[in-house]
Every structure is written in C-alpha cells, then in structure tokens.
C-alpha cells in the first residue's frame, strides 16, 4: 500500500511538472518557438493574450539575430515574455524609436492595438456573413 501511494504521488508530481512545461517557449529553433507561442497563446487568459502577442513581436523585432532571439525567448513563460517586451518597448521609447511615437506608454499601445483588433473582428465577421449567406442566421423576410 505504501508503494502504491508513493507511486501515485510521484505520478501526480510528474504530471504537474509536465503541465508547467506546456507554458514555456521551446527555443530549440525558430519553428518550435513559433509553435510554442501559438500553443501558449491559446491557453492563456484573454486579458493577457494581446500583451503576450505584442511582446513576442517586439522581442522578435528587436533581436534580429536568430540565435540571440531564441536565447531571449527560450524556456520563458508568458509573464516573462510580457516583462521583456515591456522592457524593450521602454528602452526603444527612451531612444525615440519612430514606431512608438504614437504611444505614450505600454498600456496606451496595448489599448490602441486592442481597439484595432475589435474593429478588425467586427469587419471580418460582417464580411464572412456576406461571403457565406448559407451560414447567415439573418434571413430576409
């Protein structure tokens, strides 16, 4: 009985460890890094998803060398990616990087991108309804 409970405890610990690994980016190569990001993006809460996507893009833009980029993102969890993205944003903002001239802060940038995404989703949904009238639940009477 003691052996069974010890084995069960070990399996539970192993499974909890395995779940945590699914939240880390695999930076073995660029392909696995992007696959990891896509998988993680679908598992994190909506509140942080946009920040995660933008932060990853900022890191990718800042680290042009592939090995430097992979080293920066390898084994990182979403919170670490967001923190690194914010750090790079602030460094570039302080250096008057032209792409960030329209934003007063990280939060302002996230807010504006969020509004753009909502507008794109609305447009996309309307376009899909026009393109696929059979899927449209709005019938003409």
| Ramachandran region, residue 75 (left: φ > 0; alpha: ψ -120 to 50; beta: rest) | left
Q: Largest alpha-carbon pair distance within the chain?
A: 71
Q: What is the mean pLDDT of residues 126-133?
A: 55
Global pTM value: 0.71
From residue 122, give the alpha-carbon distance in Å to each of 41, 50, 60.
Answer: 21, 17, 28
Q: What is the pLDDT of residues 55-99, one digit of tens each?
A: 999 999 999 999 999 999 999 999 999 999 999 999 999 999 999
Q: Categorize the per-residue pLDDT at 104 as very low, low, confident or very high, splitting at 50, 70 and 90.
A: very high
């Amino acid at each position: 009985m003691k052996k069974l409970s010890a084995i069960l405890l070990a399996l539970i610990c192993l499974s909890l460890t395995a779940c945590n690994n699914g939240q880390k980016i695999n930076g073995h190569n660029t392909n696995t890094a992007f696959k990891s990001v896509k998988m993680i993006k679908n598992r994190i809460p909506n509140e942080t998803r946009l920040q995660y996507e933008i932060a990853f893009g900022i890191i990718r833009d800042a680290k042009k060398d592939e090995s430097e980029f992979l080293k920066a993102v390898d084994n990182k969890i979403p919170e670490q990616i967001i923190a690194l993205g914010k750090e790079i944003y602030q460094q570039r903002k302080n250096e008057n990087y032209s792409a960030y001239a329209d934003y007063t802060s990280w939060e302002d940038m996230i807010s504006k991108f969020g509004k753009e995404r909502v507008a794109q989703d609305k447009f996309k949904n309307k376009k899909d309804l026009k393109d696929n009238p059979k899927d449209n639940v709005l019938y003409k009477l």
